[in-house]
Structure 1
Amino acid sequence: MRWLRQVASLLLAAVLLAGPPLLLVRVVGWPSAGGARAAFWQWVREPLTDQSLIMMVGVLAWLLWAFVAYIVTVRTVQRLWAGVRWLRRLPLPTPWQATATGMAGAAALTIATPATSAVGVDGEGTTTSATDTVRDDVERRGTVDGVAVSGGWLPHSLAEQVSVAAGLVWLRRRRVYLPTHPRRYDEGAGDLAPLPATVAAIQATTSHHSTSPPAQAAAGVPVIGFPPTRVGLTGPGALDAARGLLITVLLSRMRQSTTGLLITRRALDMLLGPAAARLQPGAGLRIADSAAHATTLLTAPDTATAPGGVDGGRLPVLILDQPPEGMLADALPRVATVVVLAGWPHATTWHVAADGHTHASDAAAAGGRVCVLDAVATTDLLTVTGHLHPPAPDTPTHSAPQARIPRQAAPRHDGVELGRRLRVRVLGEPTLLVDGTVLALRRTAARQALVFLAVHPDGVDSHLMAEALWPGLPAHRLTGRLYTTLSELRTVVHATTGLHVVDRAGNRYRLHPDHVDVDLWRLRAVVDHAAAALTDAAAAWRAVIDAYTGDLAAGHTWAWLDPHRETARRHVLDAYTALAAAAPDPRQALAYLQDGIRVDPYNADLHQRAARILTDLGEHTAAAELSDRYTRRLTTAGLHLDDTALIRPGA
């Protein structure tokens, strides 16, 4: 390895520089001008005596060492000067990037290297450098105090809440799934629709920067989550700021269960447009017909227990399309934080810039930056708060998967195997194996690309693949990243095995079916076989269980992964449920259900079935303990307690 050679070179240089002087000092002593002259004249007078020869050899040895030391010194100076010249040519961030984030500028000065060319999978040259990575990070997150996405800007704290809420969406989907009879492998279930693009971009950004959370004060501008008791919004970012407040309140409601939002219908139409018709009130969100109606809702006797009531917490937020008049102008701020989508002469008015920076009409009011979102981004984020279901995709993003034939033995001639096949394991920790030996992939992106191609056996469009792997990055950066990633994957495999792992057909990429054996493809094949089995169905169901060796890409949190991971998990839950339903012995059925619970400890139906069997067997204490453990698990995960009502024994 390169660093070993460098260490060996340093050790050899140290020996050459330090060894001869130590030896010469012990034999002939330190060199001096007087000693050298004496040795020279003694050699002139008596050139062939033993003492003269020894002294001249010593002088020559010191001269030789000095020559070696001179060469090493000159070489060191040359390398240092080359480093200084390279630093002077170092590619620095643009002024905008340096202004946007000092952290990004520091990173560029630390890790930037000259651009290097790489040949893409199609033979196209692509240019990547460390500064490209820094630039992508800046474009992805905006500033050190927030996250920039297509359609707006969020503070880091709010972005983290979006990621948490997105995780809860998938936990709820797992909880309510009802295992059924094994069916053909299908990823088209409506409740497995991927979360919107804005959510995926935020998930990718928060995951990318989770190891070093930025300081909110780094930008010097305070981030405002909630406005004062009453405020009017004007300026180009006024409606975007109101949308950001709407999302802030609803996400806060999910965490605190005390703060809610009330909005008039006209204000809702102004903020969401056509999507307002799909908005579902509830869980901290209510809709009023007018300001007077809002007053009635806020002052009703049951306000303290209604969603979004004061209940000892923060005042509920009321968003109005126009300033309240008369007594309402004084009454509403006492029971709610009132935000008006226009100037408000009797309150502080914020002029909101497009990027979220505010300037208050009241000189005493402190300015700051607020979350700003356009209508599309807001609609996307409402899906994770549970107030808006995402529409079903019009067309599938990939071809329907086909059943794969189990691996065949490689062809042989006179007992010698003519070909080799790669094994790709994606159920569990993603691994690429050649003849049972793990083939290391240096880039994390190459491992992610390998799994993505594995879940799309019939290929996937390059643009869809790039957008899935790097959500939220600008489009002009995606093509080069994809080519570089796939190029490394192909190069590493081909250098080791001589095989082509990635196959291209038009603008679609896939894992080469003749060279690659994927465990997920095997699972799909046995699932399809179990769905069609007319005889010995139990054996077919057990084959599904045996083929499922772990969650898809276990331990990874790529934003595109959840629908595919949940699809595979559901098929094995179907197999466990079918075996339990067909088992003549209730204890054997209970064992199958318990195995299914280990695969998905959040599924309510499996817990219901298991608790019911325990109750029928007279083991009431065990049934209660099972339900209590499930309740605690949901509570720890952040799901509401009312979500556990389905799993009481006998339910």
Structure 2
Amino acid sequence: MNWPRRVMSAVIVLAVLTVPPWLLATLAGPPLPGWPSSAQLRDWIADPLTRRTLTAGLTTAAWILWFTLAYTVAVSTARKLQAGARWLSRVPLPTPWQAAATGMAGAAALTAAHTPTAEPPAPATPVSTGDQHRHIPDTTRTHSGEGVTVEGGWLPDETAQQITAAAALLWLRRRRTYQPGHPADSSPPTPLPATVTAVQAATAHPPESTPTGTAVPHLPAAGVALTGDGATDAARGVLITRLLAALHHPPDTTSMLITRAALTTLVGAIEADNIPGLRVVDTVEQATTLLSSHAHLPAAPDGDAEPPELVLLIDPATAATAGRLIASTVSQARVVTFAATEFGHTWHVDRHGHTRDQQAGQPGPRLCVLDRTAATDLLTVLTRPTTETPHDSSDPELSLPRTANSLRIPRQPARSASRPPAPPAPAPPVARLQVLGRPALIIDGQPVTIRRSAALQVLVLLAVHPEGATTTHLVHAIWPGLPAHTVTGRLYTTLSDLRTAIRAATPTALVDHTDDRYHLNPHAVDVDLWRLHTAVHHAATTLTDPTPAWQTVIDTYTGDLAAGHSWTWIDPPREATRRLVLDAYTHLASTQSDPEHRLRLLQDAIRVDPYNEPMHRLAAEHLRAQGEPDAATRLLHSLQQRLHAAGIADGQPAPTPR
């Protein structure tokens, strides 16, 4: 309410209107005591500037000023009164019937308010003590314990967790096969598709252990035909979920047969040779022949000759072909067709994955449904890398670079190689942002408490992109899978909270917004990642001895980028930064003439990335050259154990400890 302010304004206006005329009347008399006589006029003309004349003039001017003020107040008051009168004239008065109806409604409401009820009151909605925007609902990506909805389909919880685990394994495979210090492997890490990052964000936290089950429901032994609006999307879901389960099988095992026409219909023309567990046949007859051959083979204990578990194809050409296909299936195999008219059991699938058995008239299990874009995105985490890790120690790929021509400027994320380094700041920065290792913002020697995880992501993301990031870029990175217009408010709230935390420590603005881009103030913030990039650029372009420059790169690296955080966007820049350091170790080792020092550098590089196989084999080669073959064997043995424990050992049995 603002009535005290209104009362005070009225008192002030009343004082201005009453006090000045009272003072003038008391001290100087009335404004016109009387008309001047002819004698007074002659005296004023003869001597106009007398004390009495000046006093009368000033008094008259004061009275004129007061009259002007009083006139202004009177006119304003009259206008307000007139406007109020017009408003009152337009207010509709209730008719007698309306007054009666209003009274009856009020009586009913009063009676209902005092009527006892046996139902308990609704429980209060719990309020999170963390990010106040964490539980804002959305319709594009949900994870409510009954599956994950993404743009382009729906996945069961188990399938979503398997996708998250497969994405983590994909990054481990990339780390394993990277060739440090060689231009042939200098391309930056490719980010995962949008559907994969949306699934990662929906599952919130990666599973502690890799799921080993399959989300494919129990299918009828006689085969099943998928019909309805969601038949094709459900067939894609069956394809993805079965291939996810095949990741845990030996690499030479065929878990699924699919006709080329069915594969093209589902995901387009793709290269299927690098997808584990998938075998493509040209015709249904080939699938029938292959299944028949497996049906007459004895079960192999090693699993190499195990029959396919599922056959996926389009409508068989004839009923006879369908009959032979069903007759040739063994107990482990299930045949799934889509767009079929009649084949075994028929399940009607809607676009949300809900099924209904047409013969029994009963609802069936809910199937994973994916459109072509979503299925193609998810196939990315299922495809084996095409780069083969060399196993021959004499391979030139395993040797250290020997000439200056092999030195290259490593790709720096989101920065142009031709862009010169930024000039030094004229004054020392007031803040230090540490993103290598555990992220921390330090101002005047004291860490700044950042309450929101999204605010910390903004700082690290702007450190990764020194040229800045737009609102859309920030929203898509921090909240993947959600429409930008639905979460832009979260970003503004996050930035406001971040600026408040910074302002409490320093008046200097650390996050600027210019040209529709947010960026860190390079004159106010010292970022360790920027110093690392500058050191790499200097080491790769120096014309003198590069040894001190590469050592500076190694000394600047204090840990993985944003260590301890599993944000969906962090893996590409984190891997790119790790590769910069591996390249630095490789180039620095190539300049050393002392074998012991060179071996220590390679061992330090292995500590940076314990999954990099070329670095292990390079260190093993140097151990053998120094007459320590047993140490080389132990080193490679520990690598195989580590790869097998991570699930990226290409299906070889776990090595036994020695």
Q: Residue 544 of structure 1: SS of its match in structure 2?
A: helix
Q: CA deviation at 1:190?
A: 3.9
Structure 1 pair 618/432, CA: closer, same or farther in 2 (3 Å)? Answer: same
Structure 1 pair 107/269, CA: closer, same or farther in 2 (3 Å)? Answer: farther
Partner of 1:150: 151
Partner of 2:342: 345
Partner of 1:483: 492
Q: Residue 542 of structure 1: SS of its match in structure 2?
A: helix
Q: CA deviation at 1:578?
A: 1.3
Partner of 2:568: 559
Partner of 1:333: 329
- State which of 582, 587, 604 in structure 2 corresponds to 1:578: 587
Partner of 1:231: 224
Q: Residue 336 of structure 2: SS of its match in structure 1?
A: strand
1:111 aligns with 2:127: yes
- State which of 260, 264, 271 in structure 2 corresponds to 1:269: 264
Deviations 1:250-302 (A, max 9, x none): 110002345611111111122123xx244445521111111101122334469
Q: Residue 329 of structure 2: SS of its match in structure 1?
A: helix
Q: Residue 428 of structure 1: SS of its match in structure 2?
A: coil
Counterpart Cα distance in 1 of 2:579 and 2:179: 9
Q: Residue 287 of structure 1: SS of its match in structure 2?
A: strand
Counterpart Cα distance in 2 of 1:426 and 1:305: 57
Counterpart Cα distance in 2 of 1:279 and 1:107: 53
Partner of 2:407: none
Whether the 8 Å contact between 2:224 and 2:345 is mirrored in structure 1 is yes
Structure 1 pair 599/302, CA: closer, same or farther in 2 (3 Å)? Answer: farther
Deviations 1:559-582 (A, max 9, x none): 111111111111111111112222
Counterpart residue type for residue 355 of structure 2: T
The higher radius of gyration belongs to 2
Counterpart Cα distance in 2 of 1:281 and 1:609: 27
- State which of 196, 211, 220 in structure 2 corresponds to 1:199: 196
After TM superposition, the structure 1 = structure 2 runs for residues 631-650 of structure 1, keeping only pairs within 5 Å, are: 631-641=640-650
Q: Residue 173 of structure 1: SS of its match in structure 2?
A: helix
Q: Under a length normalisation based on structure 2, what TM-score does the superposition of the two structures give?
A: 0.69
Q: Under a length normalisation based on structure 1, what TM-score does the superposition of the two structures give?
A: 0.70
1 or 2, which has the higher helix percentage? Answer: 1
Whether the 8 Å contact between 1:424 and 1:516 is mirrored in structure 2 is yes
Q: CA deviation at 1:492?
A: 1.3
After TM superposition, the structure 1 = structure 2 runs for residues 422-501 of structure 1, keeping only pairs within 5 Å, are: 422-501=431-510
Q: CA deviation at 1:464?
A: 1.4
Unaligned stretches of 5+ residues in structure 1: 1-87, 89-105, 114-127, 217-221, 390-395, 412-419, 646-651
After TM superposition, the structure 1 = structure 2 runs for residues 252-401 of structure 1, keeping only pairs within 5 Å, are: 252-257=245-250, 260-273=255-268, 276-280=269-273, 282-300=275-293, 315-323=308-316, 325-326=319-320, 327-334=323-330, 336-363=333-360, 367-386=364-383, 398=414, 400=416
After superposing on structure 2, the runs of 4+ consecutive aligned residues of structure 1 that deviate more than 6 Å are: 301-307
Structure 1 pair 388/426, CA: closer, same or farther in 2 (3 Å)? Answer: closer
Counterpart Cα distance in 1 of 2:653 and 2:570: 27
1:167 aligns with 2:168: yes
Whether the 8 Å contact between 1:446 and 1:485 is mirrored in structure 2 is yes
Counterpart Cα distance in 1 of 2:576 and 2:565: 16
Structure 1 pair 484/314, CA: closer, same or farther in 2 (3 Å)? Answer: farther
Q: CA deviation at 1:397?
A: 9.7
Counterpart residue type for residue 260 of structure 2: R
Counterpart Cα distance in 2 of 1:306 and 1:612: 42
Q: CA deviation at 1:343?
A: 3.5
Q: Percent identity?
A: 46
Counterpart Cα distance in 1 of 2:294 and 2:156: 36
The alignment of Structure 1 onto Structure 2 pairs a total of residues equal to: 497
Structure 1 pair 604/223, CA: closer, same or farther in 2 (3 Å)? Answer: closer
Q: Residue 199 of structure 2: SS of its match in structure 1?
A: helix
Whether the 8 Å contact between 2:295 and 2:328 is mirrored in structure 1 is no
Counterpart Cα distance in 2 of 1:306 and 1:436: 68
Counterpart residue type for residue 297 of structure 1: L
Whether the 8 Å contact between 1:146 and 1:155 is mirrored in structure 2 is yes
Counterpart Cα distance in 2 of 1:107 and 1:431: 39
